[in-house]
Chain A
Amino acid sequence: MASNKKYWVSTEELKKDSSLIENLNQKEFLEEIPTDEFLGDKDTLEASEPSRRDFLKYVGFSTAAATLASCEGPVRKAIPYVIKPEDITPGVANYYATTMFDGFDFANILVKTREGRPIKIEPNKEAGGSTNARVQASVLSLYDNARLKGPKYKGEKISWEDLDKNITSELSKVFASGKEVVLLTGTCASPSTHKLMMQFQEKFGKVRHVVHDAVSESAALDAYEAMYGERMLPNYDFSTAKTIVSIGADFLGDWQGGGFDRGYMQGRKPESGAMSQHIQLEANMSLTGANADKRITLKPSEQVFALVNLYNAVTGRKLLSKATPVDDAIKDIATKLKKAGSKGVVVTGIQDKNAQILALAINDALGSTIIDKVNTKNTRHGNDAEVASLIKDMKAGKVGALLTYNTNPVYTLANSATFVDGLSNVGLTVAFSMSENETAKTMQYALAVPHYLESWGDVMHQKGHYSIIQPTIKPLFYTRQFQDSILKWMGSDQTFYDFMQTNFTGDWNKAIHDGFVKMDSETEEKEAFESKVDLNTVGRVLAKTKSSELELALYTKISMGDGQMANNPWLQEMPDPITRASWDNYLTMSPADAAERGIVNSTADNGALDGETVDVTVDGVTINNIPVYIQPGQAKGSVGLALGYGRKEGVKEEMSQGVNAYAFKNTTSNVILSAVNGKHEFACVQLHHTLAGRHDILKEVSLEDYINGDSHEWNHKHKYSLDHQGVDASKVDLWEEVDRSTGHHFNLSIDLTACTGCGACIIACHAENNVAVVGKSEIRNSRDMHWLRIDRYYSSEVASREAAKEEGLGRVETYHGLERVADNPQVAFQPVMCQHCNHAPCETVCPVAATSHGKQGQNQMAYNRCVGTRYCANNCPYRVRRFNWFRYNENDEFDYTMNDDYSKMVLNPDVVVRSRGVMEKCSLCIQMTQATILEAKKEGRPIKDGEFQTACMNACNTDAMIFGDVNDKESKVAALAEDKRAYHLLDFVGTKPNVVYQVKVRNEEA
């Protein structure tokens, strides 16, 4: 039941006597303006130059001068096209269906373009597309000023013509010498590119194609091949699952290319009563673990044994294994899986072929229908063994030419130094790259390729689902596609576009329009595959898994992924859903391990997080000065570190943050931490915008109580006494009620059960509303500008907490009893944006009426009227207002998104760019609702449910956010607003918000 849970966001809160928390709770703006320091001291004041009097004189004069000078308005130009492109109407957005593809993320998307500029990415829902934060942010990478703007040879610019001459002659030399030409690429998943490479091979003979993934799923691919004969990744349809067991697989994150969240949440609808149960065994606190109904912490080596034990318990076989501390739980899980039968599924993220085989074997034993072996996925194809042998061959001088495309091996290989050494034995090295990254810098030729929004291409990221990439803008720079270069070097005069089209059968125009073609799954008879896997051998090998006192589990952040978009400020500034830290990677460590080593995280006076750094050695590889972040829920004996940080080349200095964890990629055990040796300042928004200590804004209920219990109990509505009767707080009013029955009345419903915390909405909001990026130091000052934040709450039952205190068990003795809950807390996410209160506290305190209420329920902010008193922010109980402390556009101090001509092209022309000194906040995307209304008026028709959208709800893969008009009684949101799970944040304040939350339901049954 919700009432006896304690919610907390930081371990700081668990300390009894923290004055800091009190301070943070009470103040919206933490720093005092230092007036007294200066004005209070008469001597300094008089001695200071210029004197106060002079100062006033100057101010007086300059104000008068400025007033006079400003009487002339600037002359503005209006420049039309010479020839108007047929499909462009200035001021009207065009949408194109295309496909996001960068070797790490694959998504069917719609691209919103204005006057020929792509400005926003939306999921192509007709194609079943879903977007994550990176896909949403990829539009900004198009306008990255640090992109490679033309081809280069050894760092010098070169023309494509000269380059073609040089390379073709070099290539023919290589072919004459009998050496090999190697194409090293990331996962392409492109049928046409694949065909092209085959033709290249046919034409020249000794050509080898090696696939290298930064974050490899080689083990899973090899396991699938061993079991079923094809080197593919199976698909999983979690929507019909009953029991989901994940051993270290972050499938709501980037596991095997991601994209499972929609199906997962479709199977978790409490109102249907059939909600899947999800049990997660993992070391790091992952996004998936945070969403699990039950989460068990287990360090990486123990996960292997847990998997073997689970296999044994499910099948009754006796493979060699070792005991783990959670064997009881595993027996329990096995029972549940057997009960679920074909609706049960086991997935694992252990990077070991044998472990992956075992997981597939369990699914086979269950007869699982969740695992889909027909519509297999092509999202990862990397082959670690082939990459290793390539590096060997390079060293041996067998490779005559190396062409890399869509991969950055110098950065992502653990043995990068060996690779770079090997390059010196390769005659011709060519990197096709979008930025002058580590690899492009190292190789002889750096060939500029266009961004995917400027390219033609096709992708088959799932069997039977053919997606098309079409350009949405002319190439900004002097670039040429990889495929066009290969065609040219083959002596063909075709372009890749022609090549693609000739290889396509079907309605080409329709395919381009829709962005995808559903192809019938080929029914060709497959040869029955006889697997030669001997599970006893698998068990024996797995039993040899080494464990050590401290083990490392590498992971990817939902924001940064594999690090190719490191120069994207939106992603850098996006707080990690779990740690809420941005602009960094760090070693996550359990509170117990940290206490043993005397490592602390402390919170500075302004609420910013400080940490300590350590040197980490894993199997002889050392990285110095990694900050330690104490992560509740981290498995004791394990540390986590995010990949994708520590980029040095092709990124702005500000974006070169953190350490490169790829160096640790091949090893996980034997982690040695040296002494604590320095301080680190985190840019963590953990304690920002806390609601005056009111943590009861989150409500949870177990599935059982939801179905059988009394909703008044688990969704308690605050009551006030009116005429000596208990009346719902929402019915009591200080103000006269405004009649909102005419026209639209917008409500946004946020389902806490369906929210995975992925943060795609945060980036969508950035793109739609021109939200500024403020940088690491300003984030530390709690001046982040995110209109939408996703609060992450840890929770634990008070009863168990007190029990722990009384028991004083084992390691609990060493530190405060309260912190035991920090070992493995439950996690809940809560997106919070402006609540658009019908009785808004901010509106009544604004001295200039800059913020006011609209009939449609939106709380409106007139930026040009705002004088920046910040009264509204101080009076907002939800802490959702953001103040522009500086001018974040055209300001070299904030060289992130709005400072150069390229990145300014991403701005949404329908939303004003705010200036310094004004308050801003979520507008419920009023520009979008107004556009929808206008469209309907022009067409003279009523508005259908689902037409009204906000950027955040559009980006939400799991339909956690539903937006619409509650005056339309048939609409989804009208029903949701009256649902028994519906509640308002801080309903007792009587603000009557237009954002309504749905109580989080957990499937906790034993």
Chain B
Amino acid sequence: MDIVHKSNLISKLTSFVFTLFLLFTISLTAQDTDPAKGKKLFNAHCAACHRLDTKLLGPPLSGVEDRRDKEWIYQFVENSDEFMKTDAEAKALFDEYKIPMTPFPQLSHKDIDDIIAYTTVGDAGIESVAEVVTEQPKIINERYEELTATKSNWWWQPIVLLFLIGLIFLFAKLKLNLLAIFFTIIMLFSTAYFLFAYLMQIGVDTGYKPIQPIQFSHKVHAGDNGIDCEYCHSSAKHSRTSGIPTSNVCMNCHKLITEYNGDLFGDYTKEDLDAEIAKVHAAAGWEPSEFAYTSEGKAVEWTRVHNLPDFVYYNHSQHVSVAGLECQTCHGPVEEMHIVEQYSPLTMDWCISCHQDTNVNMDDNGYYAGTYEHLKDTHKGATVADMGGRECGKCHY
């Protein structure tokens, strides 16, 4: 784990330095304006309605510098609604698209210049920045390999056993009976231990990382774009299941986001990832070219990553809403995972240990008035297990 962390940090640092270097070179060439910053601003403010080369809710912005006067653009961006009243060109634009543009008074002229610079040079102009970041997923992939490697780290066990057997034979030959017996006992115990360890990991699927029908990256969504977990897994605070977002939730964003413009990862090209977004559209029955739902859609058959057996009752809302746990406590750094894997073992031992170590926060919850009152005064407080969180029937019914 530590190694992974460090390597992550190093890679981040290098990419940062490299980016700085690149930015420096670009700013040298483009003098005042900064298309890289412009891209960021474009993605943050404009991309919801505009593309560079295609029509979306608004016109394509590529080459806008040639079409419009800078001053005109400043005024339009600041408040198109007002500007429309005095300017015929702006009015004509509104008549064509029927949607008034959101005013952006917060954008300075410099910001707008940057954005214009970006629309002029396009992605190709700042391609080199993207190249740097493609390094990152490789490191993450390595981390996965490491994880899987520790899991299959069993080869030394038979060697130890063979070594022990060899020793026993040797001692037997040498008529060192006492030693032979001693090592026989050790051999038997270690066999039992290895067998037990082997059996105990059956059904424990830590690191389980199935291939999903859509190459959905949590890193891109929860990490890069910082979408809150509960935006998609909205039933986690109400229900026993956290819920898998339905296609209509995906479409809240993907109506507009029809292509992937973020940092590439894995072995995927931009075309690959755009095709994945197209799958989302297909699942929802959305036709991007017509900007309309054209069919009923077909539910995505995801492969479950976290599988509790039927005889266990687990409730997300108990842990999320009542205990206030972070999703990451059990699910790990999902926002860093391109492919989600099972982070925790989900064994009973794992559940119970947490129940034994975690104190219940009774202070802010009116439920604990009454018979629980005396527990609040005690110095130690009460753990989940003290409250009955270790009883069989609380999870098995």
Contacts and interface: CB of A to CB of B under 8 A. Distances in A.
B390 to A, nearest CB: 10
Interface stretch (A444-452, A468-476, A562-570, A926-934): A926-934
Contacts of B299: 79-82
A659 to B, nearest CB: 41
Interface string A77-99: 11111111000011110000000
A863 B315 contact: no
B247 A742 contact: no
Contact of B302 (A80, A855, A943): A80
B311 A937 contact: no
Given A92-B235, A742-B375, A76 B247 contact: no
Chain A interface SS verdict (over half): loop
A992 to B, nearest CB: 18
B374 A742 contact: yes
B387 to A, nearest CB: 7
B240 interface: yes
A769 to B, nearest CB: 9
B364 interface: yes
B303 A82 contact: no
A855 B392 CA distance: 11
B298 interface: yes
Interface string B366-397: 11011110110000000000011001111011
Interface in B303-353: 303-304, 307, 309-311, 313, 315, 317-318, 321-322
Given A81-B299, A940-B366, A943-B367, A862 B235 contact: no
Interface string B206-246: 00101000000000000000000000000100111101111
Contacts of A852: 391-393
A864 B396 contact: yes
B394 A854 contact: yes
Given A742-B374, A934-B317, A78 B246 contact: no
B371 A937 contact: no
A80 B235 contact: no
Given A78-B304, A913-B310, A854 B318 contact: no
B323 to A, nearest CB: 9
Contacts of A850: 392
A76 B303 contact: yes
A84 B202 contact: no
B246 to A, nearest CB: 4
A103 to B, nearest CB: 38
A79 to B, nearest CB: 5
Given A80-B243, A864-B396, A936 B388 contact: no
A142 to B, nearest CB: 24
A324 interface: no
A648 to B, nearest CB: 38
Interface in A903-955: 910-913, 923, 926-927, 930, 933-934, 936-943
A270 B191 CA distance: 71
A506 interface: no
A75 interface: yes
Contacts of B321: 938
A82 B299 CA distance: 5
A69 to B, nearest CB: 11
Contact of A934 (B241, B302, B315, B364): B315
A938 to B, nearest CB: 5
Contacts of B239: 89-92
A73 B284 contact: no
A863 B311 contact: yes
B367 A83 contact: no
A860 B365 contact: no
Interface in A25-72: 67, 70-71
Contact of A923 (B208, B310, B397): B397
B392 A934 contact: no
Contacts of A75: 210, 303-304
A937 B365 contact: yes
A856 B285 CA distance: 50
A75 B203 CA distance: 12
A71 B202 CA distance: 6
Interface residues of B, number: 57
B391 A82 contact: no
B317 A79 contact: no
B205 interface: yes
Contact of A742 (B244, B303, B372, B392): B372
B246 A81 contact: yes
Most chain B beta-carbon neighbours within 10 Å: one of A70, A858, A942, A968: A942
Contact of B313 (A854, A861, A927): A927
A239 to B, nearest CB: 35
Contact of A79 (B296, B301, B307): B301
B246 A82 contact: yes
Contact of A80 (B300, B303, B369, B371): B300
Interface string A690-708: 0000000000000000000
A938 B317 contact: yes
A967 interface: yes
B202 A70 contact: yes
B243 A911 contact: no
A80 B244 contact: yes
A864 B366 contact: no
B297 to A, nearest CB: 4
Contacts of B372: 742-743
Nearest to A68: B202
Contacts of A910: 240, 313, 397
B388 A80 contact: no
B248 interface: yes
A816 interface: no
B170 interface: no
B56 interface: no
B394 A940 contact: no
A970 to B, nearest CB: 10
B202 to A, nearest CB: 6
A943 B369 CA distance: 10
A410 B248 CA distance: 51
B106 to A, nearest CB: 34
Contact of A862 (B202, B309, B318, B392): B392
Given A78-B304, A90-B239, A91-B238, 14 more contacts: A76-B304, A79-B300, A82-B246, A82-B285, A82-B296, A83-B297, A84-B248, A856-B388, A860-B394, A860-B396, A910-B397, A934-B322, A941-B367, A942-B366
What 3 pairs across the A-B complex have the smallest Cβ distances?
A860-B393, A91-B239, A862-B392
9 contacts: A75-B304, A79-B244, A81-B247, A82-B298, A90-B235, A743-B372, A912-B311, A912-B397, A934-B315
Interface of B: 202-203, 205, 208, 210, 235, 238-241, 243-249, 283-285, 296-304, 307, 309-311, 313, 315, 317-318, 321-322, 364-367, 369-372, 374-375, 387-388, 391-394, 396-397
